[in-house]
Structure 1
Amino acid sequence: MTTLIIDDEAPARTIVRQYLADFPQLEILGECADGLSAVEQIQARQPAVIFLDIQMPGLTGFEVLARLPVVPRVVFSTAYDQFALSAFEAGAVDYLLKPYDRARFALTVGRVLNHAAQPDAALQRLLQRLETSRAAQPAAPTPATYPPRLFVPQGPRLVAVPVDTIRWVEAAGDYATLHTTAGQHLSNLGISALQERLDPQRFLRIHRSVLVALDAVRELERDGSGGFYATLEGGRVVRVSRSHADSLRPLLG
């Protein structure tokens, strides 16, 4: 498992490097001393886990995560205890409060290795963290609150899918498949949860198992029973159930 050490204090980076020497399972790719270089190195080297300080020049640890299209496992390492709740809300594997000893560090590494085998719960927490603002959201969402991208699991990582590229969404049991201009992605959110995250001015539920982007609809044909067949860009035909037909009638002119 590869790792980067990110901290603006050289002694702190040295301690992490020394403690990691006890764990040959973790390969150190390098070190970063500020938030901007951290973003660059994480994107270039794609480590499996990062040891991340919070208060750094350029960008904070939280701002580093917000700029990443793919988010690795995160262990926060900081001298400030007031960020612990926000760190775990962000899906952190652990929160190391400086100063810490080898025993506490070993506990953290154990959690990292265990997390590698069972990533789903933490991925879900991180999905929720990255797709919403840290500020409280209003009860009735406004267009500004809808995220411009969704994060989907890809192995142990999360990959950003721009909402503008989504053409339609299909239920897949408790999950959903995002059909995009670049391919397909399996989301670990169900279609109803995804519907809440997508702007209803741009996406419509046309069937209990299908959600479409309005600008992807190329043709509508009545099915003779009160519903429609919708032809999407690319030629895909999906059925609009009678219970959802009213939502598409405005498109008929």
Structure 2
Amino acid sequence: MKRAPTALIADDEPLLRDALARLLAQAWPELQVVAMARNGREAVEHCEAQQPDICFLDVHMPGLSGIEAAQRIGRGPLLVFVTAYDQYALRAFEQGALDYLVKPVEPERLADTVQRLKERLQAPAPDAATLLAQLQELTARMQGEGRTAAPLRWIRASVGQTLRLIPVDEIDYLKSDEKYTLVVWRGDGDKTGEALIRTPLKELMAQLDPEQFAQVHRSVVVNLRAISHVQRGLNETADIHLKGRDEVLPVSRSYLHLFRQM
């Protein structure tokens, strides 16, 4: 009897790992998910131990990214990257030996990926030199395109047992909170909400539209569209007042130049 294909799923968000596993069970019932990894290092360890046919790797994971994990995994399994970037930023993923999925994963797109994977499993694997060259090119292009990628459109946040997809346009401000980032947003009917995520503020800022979001303090990024008015303070500082909110956000001296014309 022919052996069933096997897969590994690596994502630092447990809800997203489970969601992808459920979608795969529907799209490819024969596929056996033999390992789940919380980060890139676990992905490498599980891959060495389980020898799966396919690895689904989240691009952005703590410690060791999906790209770095793929380089260490090297020749063997087929690699599918899972990423929050939209398709304009994903030109680097369009390699002969690789595929990608954009979060949130859509069943129709996953079905296409499954079909390609089935075809690839029947074809000869690429040689190690070819795969290494593709991964090196991918890493270089990812680093080079980080500044030109399309702006982030939504942020995922776990609130209890619920995974929320927060549209970036609805965010009023973000605030660094030790190892976390506080995301404060306004939804339908001006209903407000907030959540802590593990992505550092610096990393988020690099993905936001600079025409819409501005860093005004080392620990605060604000949506310019949410500002009601800015009030100057002492010692070359200022306070930002938001539309429909009581919170007052500080503007430090280093960022006061953003509001020189007020």
TM-score calculated relative to the size of structure 2: 0.48
